[in-house]
Structure 1
Amino acid sequence: MVETGQLNRLKVIREVEFGVYLEGGREGGILLPRAEVPAGTRLGDRLQVFVYLDTNDMPIATTKRPRAQVGQFANLKVAEVNEVGAFLDWGLPKDLFLPYNEQTRRLKPGESVTVFLYLDNTGRIAATTKLEKHFDPAAEYHQGQLVELLVWRRTDIGYLVILDNRAQALLHQQDIHRPVRVGQRLPGFVKQVREDGKITVMLEKPGYARVDPLAQQVLNYLEARNGFCALGDKSDPDAIREIFGVSKKAYKMALGQLMKSGRIRQDEKGIHLLD
């Protein structure tokens, strides 16, 4: 079954001058335009594509990856505002529609806004800034759990964040020890789940002694990647800067702090997180 607004793995069933048709959809298949057909594609191959509706409300496929799929939250930039609503840049040629009745305030081109993607009653992909109704009340979390955070909005006491596209939580100001901005995605940890279900999170793993912000960034990177990073203290400076945004000297100092505190070990393959 083809899911609009999602990544699908679909079989090539027909080739035409202007592209290929993939299984599913109306009128004999879903078009993947010629410019996006991978080189060497043959009948029967399965391609991973994103399916959405074109300007004629017909399903169309693309190998491009949008910044979010239906059922997910994202922070997107407003590309245009007109008499029917706002249109958001989500990485595809056709901008994402945000109707006026799904806005909590009027938006201006160039600003960014956090939205949830859904299918409207006609099957079109749309966005809403009314996020609360799309959180999962059955979502369960426990203290110390590693989660993905999407920073939603600033409050008087910190930031509201979205956990794993499922729930909301508070990142308290007292638990922020490095720059954080709205729209940023970063790993974090559940700090507390209260009896009323409200969740607080932090950027460091609970129970550990606090380390410098860069050292904590390295720990978070390791936590999110099964405890391994190929970048050691002898790695290429450009590779270190690309991943962590710092000089090799600063990175080596952070690794030294973590090894001294018994948090990581290093070998010829890279660095490893210790329990």
Structure 2
Amino acid sequence: MAELIAGTVAELEVSHKAPFGYFLTDGNQEVLLHDNDVTGKLTEKEKATVFLYQDHQGRLAATMTIPEITMSTFGWATAVTLRKKYGVFVDIGISKDILLSKDDLPDEWFYWPQPGDKIYCSLKFDKKQRLFARLADETVINTLSVPAPAELRNKNVQAKVYRLLLNGAHVLTDEGYIGFIHQSETTDRLRVGEAVECRVIAVKENGTLNLSMRPRSYETIDQNVDKIVSYMESRDGAMPYWDKSLPEDIKQRFDISKGDFKKALGQLMKEGKLDQKDGWSYLKQE
């Protein structure tokens, strides 16, 4: 008879009731099914389909909640707790969180999944036969993915980071498309499991995507207009900057380039909302 193994699903028989749950058996081993892991009434000799895991003392235990994630199946787990000494504990859908070891994560902890992030993983044993989460590799992700259609170009997609590289990150979109975000197209450093919204800048022949987290040009202009107007409103509608101001002064005040500053001023003047005179800009009173 095969040995019962954590991380797998088994059909076991109810051996007897205990004060804190039930003991199940395969005729050779007994496993505790705690009351917290029971999803219905059980009677002696009844068969129960359970998922096997290791409790906090390392003992084999059972739950009637069958997770999607097992030793042989992958699924999305939610990061719950980050422990710099150990790694990240993830929720696979049972009462006990499973550790994703720091050995399988980037060297710097700020690249690790944060609580609420999603990672695609299965389960594995370490050298001491303890149950751990295992990140999906490229082969698994490729099996999961589908080719992206060409008409997706310039559309927005939602995605999750599954792998970090020196020059960017690989992501999987909610539709199952594989994408790459070059570091020049990011707006901040990314972490494993992070959910991101991206713009498709290219659909490659193999159906994968090149993505950007940077806004479109018109979105950038709108953001800069809002920044400039907010600053002027805080100064009664006037500011000592105009389209001939020095680039370094504009950069220091608004953290944007002179070119982007002039585009934003041009937008305001086109809309009839701004005048310039003698080195100053003024909002027109409505």
Q: Normalising by the residue count of structure 2, what TM-score does the alignment of the two structures yield?
A: 0.47
Q: Which is richer in helix?
A: 2
